[in-house]
Each structure stands twice: as C-alpha cells, then as structure tokens.
Amino acid sequence: MQLLLQSSLVEHYGASWKKVRIRSPEKVVEEIARTRSFGPLQVVGFRESIFVYDARWLRVFGELYRREIGLPYYCHLRADMMTEEMVDLLAWSGCHTVNVGIETANERLANEVLHRQIKQARLVAGIRMLKAAGIVVFADNILGIPGGTLEDDYATLQLNIDLDVDYAAATLCTPYPGTGIAKYAIEHGHFHGDFDLIDDSYYTESVLTFPDAKTKRMTENLHKWFAVTAALPQLFPLVKKLIELPPNDFFYAVFRSWYLVCHMTDVMPRRPDLAQLKESLLSVFGVYRGLDPNWHSPPRPEWLPTVDANTLATAERALTDVRMLVRREREGAVLDAGVHPAMEVR
Amino acid sequence: MFAKKSVVARRRLARRLKAAASIGLAVAAGTFVACKQKADEIMKALDDARGDVGEPEAAAPPASGPATDAGDAAMTTTKPSSSAMVVAKDAGPAPAFDAKEHKKGMPVPDNLLE
C-alpha cells in the first residue's frame, strides 16, 4: 500500500506518519445512523481519498450499511485498485456514484509528473468494471499539465469518451505551494514561482507557462467544453475549432450548465429543494447570492431563541442584584478589615 | 453483478440528450451574461459622461432607534422577538449579478462532489 502513496505526501507528513487509518465498519455505520437521527438524509457521501482498500472490510460494511442505513452513497476511490469482487460489493452495498481520478491519458505524465504510480491499463479496466456494474462514474481530469501538450489533453478527453464516464470533470493544473507539481513546474520552467498569482479557482485560467498564447487559450477553452464533449462526443470535431476563439461568456456558461444538469439528474441521487434549484439555476446566469463559501442559509425565525419581556426584565434585575452584591462584598472586605491586608503583614 | 446493457445504453442516450439541452441552456445564459455586461458598461459610460457619480446612499436608520447607553443597547437587541426576525432576514448577501464570479466555481451548492 505504501507504494501507492505519493512521495509528496511523505514529504509533507514525514516518513513516520501512519499511512492508512481505517475505521471499523461498525463505527462508520453507527456515525451515519446517529447523523440520520438529526434530520432527513437522502444520500451519504464518503469524502476520504480512497474509500475502500480491501474486499473483506467492504463486505462487513456492506452488510451493516444495507441493514442499518440503506441509502445510496457516493465515495472516492482509485479505479486501478478495483477487483471484480470489490466492484460487486460496492454495487450491492448501495454505491450510487464513485469519484475516480483519470487525470491524464498519458501514462508518462501520470507517473513522472503527477507521481501517481499507476498502470493505465488497470485504471481503464477498473472504470470499465464500475460502469458495467451500473455505478455512476464521476472522473477527475487535469488539463495543461507541465510537460504535456494539447494533444495529450485531447487524448484524455478521448479516453473519457471511450470509457463512457458519466461526468468528466476537468480542472486546470495549478501548482499550489508545497506540492510536487509546483516543484516540478518551477524546476522545468513551466512556472515562474509567484504563488500569489494563483487564482482562488482552478476553473478559470492557468498560471503555468505554455509554449504560446494560443495553446494556453485553447487549453483553457477546452477545459470549459471538456465535460459536455465527453457526454456528447459528436461535438469533439467542432470543439477543436471553437476553442481557438477568445474566451467568452458562452464557454463559461456551457461549463456551468452541464455541471448543473448532470449533477442534478445523474451524479447525485439527492433531490435539491426549490430554493437550491433556483439558486443553482440563477448562478448559471451569473446571479449569485454572495461570494462567501462559508455563508449558510439563516435559521428560520421560529428556531431563534426568543425571550418574552417579563422574563427578560426579571433576568436583568437578578443580574443587577448579583453585580451589586459582588461589588459590595469586594468593598466590604477591605472596609471590614480596617486596614489593607498588606499593611497587616507589615 | 452487471447492469443490464439496455439500461446502460438508455442512460447513455439520456445523458446525450441532457448534454444537448444543457448547451441550449448555456446559449441562453451566455447571451444574458454578455448582454448584461455590455449594458452595465454602457450605463457606466453614460454616467461617467454625465459626470454623475451618484449620491451616496443615506444609511438606513436603525429599526429601533439609536441606543443611548449600554443598557439601552442590550434592551433593543434582545427584547422583542421580532428584531431577531429582522436580523435573520438580513443575514446573507442579496443575490446579484457578478460576471467575475461567473468564471469561477460550480453552480451546485456545497460542492457536493468536489
């Protein structure tokens, strides 16, 4: 298992950190059941990078999960680690969607630049098994990888088409500080090293250096068309022409629109309420409720604590009395003693 | 455990139809965003040409009047339950057109699968 872990992770956390920590299926199911007791639950999401390592754990988890929870769930995993037994168990236990990383079709880039330590043939076989089991596949891809070309990105798109993934998510390669890719990009002249220029979104533009402005523009535009072209491959020849155009509002709208439609209908077995649906739809048209990702809907007025005027007045009187009592006691301690305690010592 | 081939094929067809529909939606959205940005630019240029920078908006008076001391402040913020309702309604930023934000992120709340 250690071989699968990226060397950059080991660099970050040191060689002594525990590589894999797995919670028992009983604990996991118990926590979900407790969470469900707080309110309605439609779908369960497991956000750890690799949800399942071995079939034995998954079998026990599946039995418990089916019996106690019985809701669809989604998880992240490495498709190259999948065996037929594991895929069967995933589907049987209620797995609706898996998030897998394809990243790039170029095995050299995957292993030498991204350090994925992966065999492309096993990745492809794993995704085919997941698809054959009827599990929705959400694939992550990276465009504009240092050392790669536009042809590599086309090949990645073609691989997503061939594998018939349900949503082909793409991001623009971004050299975040402290990552192996940043080190590689700086060392090989693909990045100037000014991390302050990195945008807060990896969906907009790339900060990496490209051979020319046209290639950069085409890569960024391809990113906007990537997912929808994977879903509708007939677009591919047209997209190759379209991405030569300057970036524009239509391209961004295409990206957002397909993301919304695909997630609402295929990827997430969760039905949004009307307010969420309206908000999502408006955002495709550039209308936002705000930029703060930590902002959440306010609680309903009836949930807010309310105090009637009489209770409040009583509480305030009681508080004032306590404050006066404390003040008198402090003053009295000095007056009763007659002299300051420090004077007595002397 | 394999899914039926007919089910997989039907799902693929549905995905293609939905992708085509989403492009229709994107054309409408892209047109709106482009027109809105252009309209905003024209309005700004007109305002600049007129030299009309606009009056600063007067601050709205507090709903329960200015507090005179700490005691009053405590009373005005905690006494009536209706003031809590006002706070709840004003808690989030109002929806607004933002072309810059349009180029970031995803339209699904909570980044469900990110």
Contacts of B32 in chain A (CB under 8 A): 285-286
Percent share of chain B, pLDDT over 90? 18
Cα–Cα distance measured from residue A115 to residue A126, given in angstroms and rounded to the nearest whole number: 19
Q: Kindly report, residue by residue over B57-84, the tens digit of the pLDDT.
A: 444 444 433 333 444 433 333 444 444 4
Instruction: Judge: A203–B33 Cβ closer than 8 Å, yes or no.
Output: no
What is the overall mean pLDDT for chain A?
86
Q: Is the ipTM of this complex over 0.85?
A: no
pLDDT score, position A284: 86
Nearest neighbour of A286 by CB, restricted to B19, B93, B99: B99
* pLDDT above 70: residue A331: no
The better pLDDT of the pair A339, B42 is held by B42
B21 contacts in chain A (CB < 8 Å): 261
Q: Of the ranges A18-22, A167-171, A210-214, which one carries the lowest mean pLDDT score?
A: A18-22
Minimal CA separation from B51 to chain A, in Å: 29
- Asked if B106 and A256 count as a contact pair (C-beta separation under 8 A), the reply is yes
Dihedral sign, Cα of residue B98, residue A227, residue A189, residue A241: negative
Instruction: Give the E-state strand segments of chain A in sequence order.
Output: 44-46, 73-76, 95-103, 136-143, 167-172, 287-288
Please tell me which residue of chain B has the smallest CA distance to A294.
B110
Q: What is the pLDDT of residue A293?
A: 54
What's the pLDDT at B1?
A: 62
For residue A201, count CB atoms less than 10 angstroms from its CB and return exposed for 0-12, middle for 13-18, buried for 19 or more: middle
Which of A92, A203, A284 should we substitute to test contact with B (largest number of B Cβ atoms within 10 Å)?
A: A284
Please, are residues A29 and A68 in contact by the beta-carbon 8 Å criterion?
Answer: yes
Band of the pLDDT at A310, cuts 50, 70, 90?
A: confident
Distances (CA, A) of A320 to A189, A325, B74, B77: 69, 9, 13, 18
Q: Which residues, 6 or more positions from B114, have their beta carbon under 8 angstroms from its beta carbon?
A: B106
| pLDDT of the residue at B68 | 39
Q: Specify the pLDDT at position A236.
A: 96
Segment A321-334 mean pLDDT? 74
- Choose among B37, B74, B104: nearest Cβ to A204: B104
Q: Which two tokens stand for residue B49?
A: 């040409």
Tokens standing for residue A244: 């030569």
Of B1, B22, B104, the CB nearest to A257: B22
pLDDT digits (tens, 9 = 90+) for B13-33: 999 999 999 999 999 999 998
Percent of chain A with pLDDT over 90: 58
Note the pLDDT of residue A295. 56
Whether residue A291 contacts residue B101, with contact meaning beta carbons closer than 8 Å, is answered with: yes
Q: Is the pLDDT of residue B8 over 90?
A: no
Q: Are A87 and A77 in contact (CB under 8 A)?
A: no
Say yes or no for a CB contact (<8 Å) between A259 and B106. Answer: yes
Contact assignment for B95 to A132 by CB distance below 8 Å: no
Q: What is the pLDDT of residue B87?
A: 42
- Residues 3-32 of chain B with CB under 8 A from chain A are 3, 7-8, 11-12, 15-16, 18-23, 25-32
* pLDDT for position A157: 97
pLDDT at A25 over 70: yes
Tell me the per-residue pLDDT of A124-173, one tens digit each, with 9 for 90 and over.
999 999 999 999 999 999 999 999 999 999 999 999 999 999 999 999 99
Per CB-CB distance under 8 Å, the chain A contacts of B22 are 228, 254, 257-258, 260-262
Min CA distance, A343 vs chain B (Å)? 38
Higher-pLDDT residue of B108 and B71 is B108
Tokens of A237: 């020849």
Q: List chain A residues with CB under 8 Å of B10.
A: none
**Mean pLDDT score across all residues of chain B:** 67
pLDDT at res. A346: 35
pLDDT for residue B96 is more than 80: no
Q: Which of residues 53-112 of B touch A (CB under 8 A)?
A: 74, 78-81, 84-85, 88-89, 91-99, 101-109, 112
Tell me: pLDDT of A78 over 70.
yes
| Residue A335, phi then psi, degrees to nearest 5 | -65, -40
State pLDDT tens for residues A255-281. Answer: 989 998 998 888 887 777 787 788 888
> Largest alpha-carbon pair distance within chain A?
98
With a pLDDT cut of 70, the percent of chain A lying above it is: 86
